[in-house]
Amino acid sequence: MKLRITGRRLRALVPALTLAGCTGWQSAIDVHGASAISLKQLIVLIMATCSVVWALVILALIFALWRRRPVRESPLALDPGAQRRMTAAVAGAVVATVIVIAALTVFSFLTTRQLSVAGGDDLTIKVRGLQWWWGVEYFDSNPELRFETANEIHIPVGRKVRLQLEGIDVIHSFWVPSLAGKQDLIPGRPNELTIRAERPGTYRGQCAEFCGLQHAHMAFFVIAEEQTAFDAWMRLQRDSAVASSDAEVTAGQQVFLSKPCAACHAIRGTTAIGRTGPDLTHVGGRKYIAAGLFENTRGSLAAWIADPQTLKPGNNMPMVPLAAEELRSVSAYLASLK
Amino acid sequence: MRGGDTTPEELDTDMERPALEAALAEIWKTPEGMWGALATVDHKIIGRRYIITAFVFLAFGGVLAILMRAQLAQPESRVLGPDRYNQIFTMHGSSMMFLFAVPVMEAMAVYLVPLMVGTRNIAFPRLNAFSYWIFLAGGVLLWTSFVLDMGPDVGWFAYVPLSGPQYGVGKRADVWAQMITFTELSALAVSVEIVVTILKQRAPGMSLDRIPLFVWSMLVTSFVVIVAMPAVMLASTSLILDRLVGTHLFNPAEGGDVLLWQHLFWFFGHPEVYIIFLPAVGMVSSITAAFARRPVFGYLAMVLALIATGILAFGLWVHHMFVTGLPRLGESFFTASSMAIAIPAGIQIFCWLATLWDGKPIFRTPLLFVIGFIVTFVIGGLTGVMVASVPFDTQVHDTYFVVAHFHYVLIGGAVFPLLGAIYYWFPKITGRMMSERLGRWAFWLIFVGFNMTFFPMHILGLQGMPRRIYTYQPDMPWHGLNLFVSMSSLILAAGFLLFFVDAIRSARRGLLSGDNPWDAPSLEWATSSPPPSFNFAYIPVVNGANPLWEQRDVVAVAGGLRTHRRELVITTVAAAEPDAREASPRNSIWPFWAALATTVMLISSIFTPWAVVWGSIPIVIALIGWFWPKGTPEDES
């Protein structure tokens, strides 16, 4: 009976290990960043070793349970020869354990050393963790060239990017498994993480430290682009918002600036300078809204503004009562902010 | 026995056995009715209560787990909202850790250790009664607040600032912190009792190298509790101070430190795992010896491994903080120590395997659970080696991989042995056998259901699913496995249900077991099942590590105890040579009043700090009543 079950478990283990996490844009196994690639090598190595160890223990267990043995007079009538052999076997197994453990520890240290460390000239981005969204600030030696965005981090492929991580309210954790391991954002204790994407793509990340009601909806995206595309994006982001002359958009801007929206959100180039909520200067160009909750369309923007508390219960954006016409125009305005 | 002092009273050696048993029953009895129930200090009655209460909390926690799985079966499901879900996962973790796992292990020791060392009651029996009432009050506090929709919602390790005054609104985090005070208080009390019972009340002849391995494991566990628990009491008290009287211990804006909480919590929190695991190790040893039909191989190695685990347990806490940005060198140290603890665990596994190899295994339900333990715990231990590596951990920390890991350790490593232990010791506790047929069904349902539920979580974690999320979006590739896990959890739940049905049914209608149904070697099987209120009519004398296998026909006993008062034998720490006759306290209602007064004070202090001042007065009165000499024969000496 035991034989059959362990066989089943073994068969279950093998595909599980080989196929584990082979899909997805937020996966520690489907990796596209320098750190995540060396981490995956370590993960595979340790898992393979441990699977062998487990299999050996189970083999020993099966053997111990199924072995034919002579009847013993009394539980205390032990054979001294057998005791000596068992002592040797257990001692051997303990020595093997020590060797395996020591080897894994060394591999672990080597991987830690191998993980990339940023140099002085690397691109530096400050990431702020807030309940339940991410503020992103791009630094530049020229203060004019600094800018702010939210929930979406663009990086150039093949370059080291230094992320300065800062927890604003409670502890959050920055994790884009396809690119690197996670690092906490802790109030009062700034941290750093270096990432380097090896391939262009959109990589999803998510807060990994429980941070309250909407911990589940605190995603972000790292978009790795070729240098030229990245430079173009940077130029666009540095500019202030440009409202088109479309009548609906103009009306929407008026709604935005006259209603409470502007108290929490900033749109550079307008009088809206709030910093409680995400910077919306180029919100129309982002792929997602509400920290990865919806794809960014005019419809989802309207739905979000109309009733943020039903869509993301407990989040800090209040419902601002708007007439249907106001809702239409303000969503048109935000969608136009490419 | 020393009989130097002049005693007019009768000694047990002067009496015939029936008369002696009648006299002992009269002096040790717990009266019928309400007063008896509240005042009893019998370790068996209290231990049984403890065990049943802890299993009730297990059932409650299990229901919460099923609710969580119902919510997670589908993406963006609306079975539970975020607020309820966060309360539920916090309650699940807190109940399982603080109200089930630790207390149930302590409870098994409260019942078994005095019997296994051959004494008549636990040391400090009134403290024992007090500890049960305090534990019960803590559990009732937590669950009442949950029913009133003010259950804690900050996770079972309640990280600040989320649990602090600014972000943890209402009384939810206060309830959690105060529940910690209750359960830690009771755990500390029991640990002190266990240590003293083991060191001073062992049967004559039970020298240190003859102590049953379960008793050794409880001795080490109790020392770990005594060293670890003060850290979490300090942490939870500091949290209450921050929340109630405006200290800023954890507030970085005022010079406090949020990581201080994590250090204090995990300095307790990691040893906590071993507080749960070490007793289970002892249970595995007891069961293995009885069903492999030989003593556990490598007694000395097993004891040293237990002690090594207990010491190393305090050198690992930082591996819960590998992604908080601590210095590299420190992290490397904690990687090495976390890896190293696999060595004593390995020694124990190898010794059990050797025992099974050399023995003649009898495949009854308790042994099935031990086999299930080895298969699953080794997986949990190996994933523990994985998360001990800092770089590895940065990818799996706070994901479902870790959820899978610690359920393999806690269910595989502790609950499997515990269930085996219930099947094993049930006849001793109730005098009746549990059903072998239902037991096998329960084992296979739990074993298969457990692996189907928790193994896929490793994969979910590697696929990037963080823990503690109340939902996930449909475009994540997690829904298939989550649905599978949710369905599988029903198999696991069915297994537990069957176990409960079996236990309740067998307690009333199980086959009568006799004193020693398994032909097991340790002293608890030397008395009747269930044991009389005085445990042993004569204190047994031990000549080896397996007394009932060494003395097949009749166990040697010591005489010379007086029968007009509750009395037991005190022996020396190392050699267990008889040292003194010691009175053991009678039943008393005062521990109950003291616990009630403490409960009122602790709960009121959630609402006003002044409760600490005014609430102390009834506690003082209760303690005076507790210790006031009542003129009973026990007061002499």
What is the predicted ipTM?
Answer: 0.93
Of B88, B162, B284, which to mutate for an interface test with A (greatest number of A Cβ within 10 Å)?
B162
Residue A39 to residue B294, Cβ atoms within 8 A:
no
Residue B76 has pLDDT above 60, yes or no: yes
Q: Chain-wide mean pLDDT for chain A?
A: 90
Determine the pLDDT at residue A2. 39
* A123-238 CATH pick, 3.30.930.10, 2.60.40.420, 3.20.20.140, 3.30.413.10: 2.60.40.420
- CA A136 → CA A146, A162, A163, A224, distances in Å? 11, 12, 10, 15
Of B394, B469, B475, B546, which to mutate for an interface test with A (greatest number of A Cβ within 10 Å)?
B394
Determine the pLDDT at residue A24. 60
CB < 8 Å to B447, chain A: 5
Domain boundaries, chain A: 2-69+78-114, 123-238, 247-336
Buried b (16+ CB within 10 A) or exposed e, A125-136: bbbbbbbbbbbb
Instruction: Tell me, yes or no, if B155 comes closer than 8 A to chain A by beta carbon.
Output: yes
CA gap B562, B577 in Å, rounded = 19
Instruction: Tell me, yes or no, if B304 comes closer than 8 A to chain A by beta carbon.
Output: no
Instruction: Tell me, yes or no, if B325 comes closer than 8 A to chain A by beta carbon.
Output: yes
pLDDT tens digit sequence for A62-111: 999 998 887 788 899 999 999 999 999 999 999 999 999 999 999 999 99
In this structure, the number of other CB atoms found within 10 A of the CB of residue A140 comes to: 13
Structural class in CATH, domain B12-635: mainly alpha
Residue A116 has pLDDT above 50, yes or no: yes
Determine the pLDDT at residue A54. 97
Residue B353 to residue A171, Cβ atoms within 8 A:
no
Instruction: Identify the sign of the CA torsion A32, A34, A35, A37.
Output: positive
Q: Which residue of A has its CA nearest to B393?
A: A181
Structural class in CATH, domain A247-336: mainly beta
Of A28, A75, A169, the CB nearest to B293: A75
Location of structure tokens 């696929």: B463
Higher pLDDT pick, A172 / A9: A172
pLDDT band at A35; cut points 50, 70, 90 = very high
Asked if residues B359 and B292 have their Cβ atoms less than 8 Å apart, the reply is: yes
Residue B162 has pLDDT above 80, yes or no: yes
Residue B83 to residue A184, Cβ atoms within 8 A:
no
Asked if residues B333 and B280 have their Cβ atoms less than 8 Å apart, the reply is: no
Closest chain A C-alpha to B448 CA, distance in angstroms? 9
Instruction: Tell me, yes or no, if A78 comes closer than 8 A to chain B by beta carbon.
Output: yes
Of A215, A220, A287, A289, which to mutate for an interface test with B (greatest number of B Cβ within 10 Å)?
A215
Higher pLDDT pick, A3 / A197: A197
Q: Chain-wide mean pLDDT for chain B?
A: 95
B 472-511: CB under 8 A from A: 472-473, 476-477
pLDDT tens digit sequence for A223-269: 999 999 999 999 999 999 887 889 999 999 999 999 999 999 999 99
Instruction: Tell me, yes or no, if A311 comes closer than 8 A to chain B by beta carbon.
Output: no
Residue A325 has pLDDT above 70, yes or no: yes
pLDDT tens digit sequence for B488-535: 999 999 999 999 999 999 999 999 999 999 999 999 999 999 999 999
Determine the pLDDT at residue B310. 96
Q: Which residue of B has its CA nearest to A215?
A: B469
